[in-house]
Structures are given as structure tokens and as C-alpha cells.
Amino acid sequence: MGRAPCCEKIGLKKGRWTAEEDDILTKYIAANGEGSWRSLPKNAGLLRCGKSCRLRWINYLRSDLKRGNISPEEEETIIKLHASLGNRWSVIAGHLSGRTDNEIKNYWNSHLSRKLQNVDPTDSNDKPFDVDVGNVSTKRKGGRLSKPARKKNKQEGDATRKDDKVHENHEKSAQSEEGEGIVIDSDPQHTSNVTFVQQRQQNGVLGGPNEELECDLPCRGLTMESELWAKLDEVEAVEPLSWADEGSGSMSMSSSEESGAHAVKGVDGEKVVALNGREEEEEEQKGRATIRNEDVQWMDWEMEDMDFRLWDGVNDMWPWTWDNETGVVVEDGGYQLEGTLDNWLSDGLI
DNA sequence: AAGCTGACCAACCGCACAAAC
DNA sequence: GGTTTGTGCGGTTGGTCAGCT
């Protein structure tokens, strides 16, 4: 059975909201509160769909919204959260005060995804944020450059620019948007996850929901998840794997209880690797990585569990910081733990 | 100056899910 | 248990703006 339309669409207005409509909606909600979106347009006297009213209120009219450019700090947070959570914009927005999912989604699609795409991790000479990398054969015919590209043009000295006022405004705009908060690190030693993703793509095994890890480009501070992916990669080197259910796009992993084996499973239950305790010890003696149960348990592709573990009880927006030398530094209220991911997991603090 | 083009972003659309009936 | 309703989410669209030729 199909869902009924959210409202009777005939005769309803679409497109941009006028100031008058905004005023009506704002006053109505101030008097009657949020909710009952389906009946709201009729009661308020708006020729709009209820969903449209809800969207307008949530994204633009709420008093607690923060307008203006995304700060460098916010941008860095978005990148980190997206690396862990994927396109779960509402969850990401929940950790950015005053920002909406729509705003973050738009910002990601128009700014960040392109920025990250244009960083070639294998080329340390590549300039981050350089637009049109890889399109050298296609001569640009027109159109507005992205803000980073305009900044770059400015830095290279555009003697032909005629309008100094516009030029100055663009410089200000670019500076305010980019600031110094986000550091794109072109150092190859910090690009293991990128390499890993590329390898997985080449091997045709990128089928899990963390294809979004592609965006986990060499920003300083790899996520825990990418670290775990790297561990998986090492295990694959020990025993080549193929994910159990590539086609579904919903491959998951779980630990096996049988015989104390440590296993990775696909959604259809097919075991793709299993190491019992002895094998694990042997592999570790050979200096090879293995996956332990606690590691596997922690890998929750649905991310719900991860959300709780990361955020529950932690008021700070991002509960840890990374140190490239020592590993992860965790700060969570009463304790501080320094050490590697292994320490963190085995100490059971997550 | 005009047309073309890409960037940006507000808004729409369809789907999923939970609650109510 | 099946259906309806309300709400939220993420993907996509299309209008507007501004730089380029």
C-alpha cells in the first residue's frame, strides 16, 4: 500500500517563501507551538504543504538557528563526524549547535566533498582544495569558480582582474570561510586510510556502508573507524578475504562465539575469516595484525551503537583528540587515557 | 553587453518508521 | 494485525547569482 500524500497538493503554493508567509508561520507557531504540521497550514491560513511549513520553520525560522558561514571549527567537526557517521546529516547537525541537517548537507555537497575529492593522497605536491584537478584536458569556458579556487587565483596574482572591490570582497569571503581551523595534511604518512580505501576499491571489495570513508582523506586525525579498517586490511594481508555480501550494500560484521574463534561474518552468515586464540597468538608473534572479538564487536556498521558509545554521557562535542605521535588521547570527564586504539579497546572503556 | 556556465542553496520529493486507531 | 496518520530523513531539483568568454 502506498503512503497517502502528506497533504492535498492542488492549489498549494510552491517555491520560495515570502516574508509575509514567514511572518504568518512564525506568529502561528509562537501562539500554538510546533507540531500538527498537517493541519497547520489550514489553521494558519497558509497555502502551503504541511511538510513545507515544517521545513521552513526548522531550517530558517527557528530562533535558535545560527546563520552565517560555517566556521573552520565547525567544518572540521563535520568532516570528522561524516567520516564516522556517513550521510547521517541529522545526527551530525545534532552536534553542531544552531545548524540544520539541510545546511550541513548542502555545505558538504557544495564545499567539502569537492575539496576532499580534489586532494590526491598519493601526490604530496598536490595542492589541497585545488579545483579542477584532473580536468586539465577540459578547458573551462565560463562559470564562477569555487571560493577556494578564487582564493588561489588571487594568491597567484590575477593582474587582469578589473574590479578591485569585488576582488577584495572575495578575499575576505575566502578568508572567513577557510580560516586556519581545518588542516589538510598532505604528508604521506598520514594517508594510510586513503591508501586502504583505494586498495579496497581496486580489489572490488568496497561494498559496506563505509564507502563514505572515501571522504576520510588525509585530514589530520584519523578516526577510530579508519584505524579499524586498517587493521582489517592487515588481516586481509594474512588471509585474503572477500566480503560475504558485496551486492547488498549492507554488509555487516559480527563476532563468532563458536569455539572461541574470532571471526568476521557477512550478513548472510558466511564466515570470511576466523582466527582462534592460538592462531591469533601465532600471527601476532609473526608481527601480523589480527582482529579480536572486542575489535569486531566495536565495528558496528549501523553506527547506532557507535553513536551511544561516542556521545552518551559526554557533553563535549568531540570527546577525543588525536595525536599523530602517541595515538589517541581520550578525554571524557573524569578520566584521561593515553595510548593506542588497542589500549582503548582492551581497557573496555568504550 | 550578452550569453554561457558552474557554484550555491532553498525547497521539494519519496521513503521509512513509529504511533495511533 | 492491518491501516492510517504524522513526522523525520536523505537525495535531488531547480532557481539565482556571479565569473568567464
* Strand B bases contacted by the protein (CB, 7 Å): 3-17
Residue with the bigger pLDDT between A85 and A316: it is A85
Name the nucleotide nearest A148; use CA and C1': B7
Q: What is the tens place of the pLDDT at every residue in A73-107?
A: 888 888 888 887 888 888 888 888 888 888 888 88
Q: Nearest 5 degrees, angle CA A18-CA A108-CA A253? A: 130
Q: Please tell me the predicted confidence (pLDDT) of residue A6.
A: 52
Q: What is the mean pLDDT of residues A19-36?
A: 84
Q: Please tell me the predicted confidence (pLDDT) of residue A9.
A: 56
Question: Which contacts qualify for A118-122: CB closer than 8 Å, 24 or more apart?
Answer: A119/A184, A119/A186, A119/A217, A119/A218, A121/A186, A121/A188, A121/A191, A121/A194, A121/A195, A121/A198, A121/A217, A121/A218, A122/A188, A122/A191, A122/A195
Nearest residue to B15 via alpha carbon and C1': A3
Residue A180 pLDDT > 70, yes or no? no
Of the listed ranges A131-140, A217-226, A292-301, the least confidently predicted one is: A131-140
- In this structure, are residues A217 and A210 in contact, taking their beta carbons and an 8 Å threshold? no
Q: CA at A111, C1' at B4: how many angstroms apart?
A: 23
Q: Which residues pair with A190 in a beta bridge?
A: none
Q: How confident is the model at residue A131 (pLDDT cuts 50, 70, 90)?
A: very low
* Strand C bases contacted by the protein (CB, 7 Å): 3-12, 15, 17-21
Q: Please tell me the predicted confidence (pLDDT) of residue A282.
A: 53
Best-predicted range by mean pLDDT among A72-86, A150-164, A243-257, A269-283? A72-86
Q: What is the mean pLDDT of residues A23-34?
A: 84
Residue with the bigger pLDDT between A235 and A211: it is A235
Q: What is the tens place of the pLDDT at every residue in A322-337?
A: 444 444 444 433 334 4
Q: Please tell me the predicted confidence (pLDDT) of residue A54.
A: 85
Q: CA at A27, C1' at C12: how many angstroms apart?
A: 31
**φ and ψ at A310, to 5 degrees?**
-75, -40
Q: What is the secondary structure of A238-304 as a DSSP string? A: HS----TTTTTS--------GGG-EEEE-TT--EEEEE-HHHHHHHHHTT-----HHHHHH--TT-H
Q: What is the mean pLDDT of residues A106-124?
A: 63
Q: Which residues pair with A219 in a beta bridge?
A: A184
Best-predicted range by mean pLDDT among A121-135, A139-153, A154-168, A276-290? A276-290
d(CA A149, CA A130): 6
Of the listed ranges A168-177, A227-236, A289-298, the least confidently predicted one is: A168-177
Structural domains of chain A, with CATH: 19-61 (1.10.10), 188-346 (no CATH)
Best-predicted range by mean pLDDT among A41-55, A190-204, A319-333? A41-55
Q: Please tell me the predicted confidence (pLDDT) of residue A85.
A: 81
Q: Please tell me the predicted confidence (pLDDT) of residue A160.
A: 31
Q: How confident is the model at residue A140 (pLDDT cuts 50, 70, 90)?
A: very low
Q: Which residues pair with A336 in a beta bridge?
A: A331
- What's the mean per-residue pLDDT of chain A? 52
